[in-house]
Structure 1
Amino acid sequence: MRRGWAIITTRDEEGSYYGAKATLNVWGLPSVSDRQESFSQITLRNDEDVISAGWHVFPEFYGDHDTHFYTLWVSGATPNKACYNLECEGFKRDNTSLYIPGHKIEPLSTYNGGQFEIILKIKQNNDTGDWSLYYGPNGDKPVGSWPKSLFTKLADKATTVDVGGAVLFNTGEPSPPMGSGQFSSEKAKKAAYAKDIQFVDKSGRSYKPGDDVIGEYADISHCYSISTFGNLANGFYFGGPGGCI
């Protein structure tokens, strides 16, 4: 599988991060084909340990072309196995939560129209070392957690934070759209965005990262693009139509 990215990422690959929060506008992408995935996410990693949450369109997984809320984790012990939502034993759902990994998201943003958002926060528990996921109007409603025992390196901290869009597609096939399917230059009400981005330090304090911490990265620039961090309220625009082979 080939990957494409349009993300902000922390410049220091050996940094110390204990959480992240972002507001993502949510789009429908019905043209994503059956063997492709397009997603918008927050990802924390330490070496091959990875946790991620956001929204995606993944027809092969769900059997539809709808937009779904998702969670994901990868353990360095089995780096080629990505566990989505509740399919593996690992992510522990909070049974009181109204937000269930895998649920269909409605309503969706429309081009030059209404914008609909989700707010997500991932934070490490200082006492247990587990990583908790929050959703909701203020990103404060518990969804569940990834136990510390799933990981080796993430049991301590994250060394990298990524926020933005990504796609997966087969080599030799046209790549899928990302975000809203529009380039970042379309901006307000037309392009996908991530805004109000915050990181969490070891004491549990949230803070706004500066551009000295953040770098922008788009690896297939003729199909996907990203604006400068801070181009939007502590955030950025990203995405593109795809179509690259």
Structure 2
Amino acid sequence: MASMVDIIVFFLCFIVCVSNNLTKADWGLSAKEELEFQKQFINLKKFAIKSIQIGDGDIYDCIDFYKQPGFNHPFWKNTTFEMKRKLFVQGRGTNSNSPLKTRLKGVGCPYGTVPIRRVNEDDLIRAKLLSKMHPTNIDEEPGYHYAILRTKADPNRRLDGIESYLRLFNPSGITGSQYSAFRMTLSNGLDSIKTGFTVNPLLFKDNKTRLFTHVTIDGSIQCFNQDCPGYVQINSEIPLGWTCPDDHPERKAFKLRINKGTCDGPNSTKCLWTLYFDDGNSAVGFWPPTLFGKLSEFANQADWGGEVYSPLDQPSPPMGTGKRPLQRDWDTIDLAHSRRIACAYENDKFNFLSPVDTELYKSDQEAYDIIDVGYQGEYFGRMILYDGPGGIKGA
């Protein structure tokens, strides 16, 4: 549970967020449109075809694909029903590849609908606060700690995709506004799309390991998961915020991929950034390119690894298993890792290759570490190990 200090800071920041929103519209929306978008999320349960409750926690409402809030973004206003229908059919063609145990209640939503996690006003406030707190630059951000492999800065590099298998763990002892994540990021300048798995009590109000996305535009506008205007959910079985089932084998690795289609115009639905899940490459959802600045055309940098956050007055949380990876005698069973990390380059966007011209970045080596063990055969591919006990305070 969040401490009293966290709660006070939370609502003070919310007041600032609200006052800023009165004068500045985000995501290409007017203040009125953004407010309407938030109201739609809160009221979605009224339009649910079916609702799926997961244990004692989440409720996912199955909403008509064409009536989800993301379609109210200006990018989609000139998109014909036929074009949306084509996207729906293409996306649905990948849903059947989802492993049975990963689906909501083993079934998912009925045909023609998509799952959207039910939220209330408090949930939206929490997400808004977290987006305001989140750093836009990984270097020298107090409270944030990283152990990642990244491509070196190169403005001439052109990337159209990124992928990896990320091993699932459930770091313990994470409270309040702390979080711990294993993720990958695709970026260009101050635009980025990040995806992976996280334990984030402030965002999700629990300590479960969940699938998440985090989008940044121009370093100032940020959002999480389906709270992003313009994001369209396509998968009827795997929603953002998805939790690994309790009966799923521990330490399972899931494949994530972000890929961009071939554009035939600035407003083309063919050049969407799309998130894919697991071996079957099931499409989860997509972001229209016009949400972004430089990232609307291509990415030029990528990174993979671990990330944690803690307020400066609290010891930082563990990353992965909380153990330190060793250069020798390492074992993937006992360490957080990403295998088969790869990029898709501009002229070969559907052929994912081991990234070149890379470097390791360790913001706090005494508490978190990362090892690039290189190519380890066809199954593991290019692999990194990242872990650490945490415990840093005041930095």
Q: Fold-level match, TM-score > 0.5?
A: yes
The equivalent of 2:181 in structure 1 is: 39
Cα offset for 1:195?
Answer: 0.4
Match of 2:360 among 216, 219, 237: 216
Alignment of 1:145-164 (within 5 A): 145-164=286-305
Alignment of 1:189-228 (within 5 A): 189-203=333-347, 204-209=349-354, 212-228=356-372
Alignment of 1:229-240 (within 5 A): 229-230=373-374, 232=376, 233=380, 234-240=382-388
Contact 1:26 1:109 in 2 (8 A): no
Change (3 A) 1:237 1:158: same
Q: Does 1:26 align with 2:168?
A: yes
**Aligned equivalents of 1:137 and 1:230: distance in 2?**
22
**Aligned equivalents of 2:375 and 2:325: distance in 1?**
10
Secondary structure of the residue aligned to 2:271 is coil
**Aligned equivalents of 1:177 and 1:109: distance in 2?**
22
What percentage of residue pairs aligned between the two structures are identical? 25
The equivalent of 2:148 in structure 1 is: 7
Secondary structure of the residue aligned to 1:60 is helix
The equivalent of 1:244 in structure 2 is: 392
TM-score by length of 1: 0.90
Number of residue-to-residue matches in the alignment: 237
Change (3 A) 1:202 1:53: same
Alignment of 1:30-109 (within 5 A): 30-76=172-218, 79-94=219-234, 96-107=235-246
Compare the two structures and name the one with the higher helix fraction: 2
**Aligned equivalents of 1:73 and 1:157: distance in 2?**
15
Which letter does structure 2 place at the counterpart of 1:240?
Answer: G
Q: Does 1:171 align with 2:312?
A: yes
- Looking at CA atoms only, which structure, 1 or 2, has the larger radius of gyration? 2
Cα offset for 1:17?
Answer: 0.9
Secondary structure of the residue aligned to 1:175 is coil
Q: Does 1:129 align with 2:274?
A: no
**Aligned equivalents of 1:59 and 1:73: distance in 2?**
19
Cα offset for 1:231?
Answer: 6.4
Which letter does structure 2 place at the counterpart of 1:152?
Answer: G
**Aligned equivalents of 2:226 and 2:386: distance in 1?**
28
**Aligned equivalents of 2:305 and 2:296: distance in 1?**
24
Change (3 A) 1:183 1:106: farther
Contact 2:172 2:318 in 1 (8 A): no
Contact 1:45 1:159 in 2 (8 A): yes
Secondary structure of the residue aligned to 1:18 is strand
**Aligned equivalents of 2:244 and 2:211: distance in 1?**
6
Cα offset for 1:137?
Answer: 2.7
**Aligned equivalents of 1:183 and 1:40: distance in 2?**
15
Q: Does 1:181 align with 2:322?
A: yes
Change (3 A) 1:158 1:209: same
**Aligned equivalents of 2:143 and 2:358: distance in 1?**
25
**Aligned equivalents of 2:224 and 2:312: distance in 1?**
23
Cα offset for 1:228?
Answer: 2.1
Cα offset for 1:80?
Answer: 3.5
Compare the two structures and name the one with the higher strand fraction: 1
Cα offset for 1:156?
Answer: 1.2
Which letter does structure 1 place at the counterpart of 2:350?
Answer: R
Cα offset for 1:109?
Answer: 8.9
Deviations 1:171-228 (A, max 9, x none): 2321111122221225321110000112111232323225x42211111000000112
**Uncovered stretches (5+) of structure 2, i.e. residues with no partner:** 1-141, 264-269
Cα offset for 1:74?
Answer: 0.9
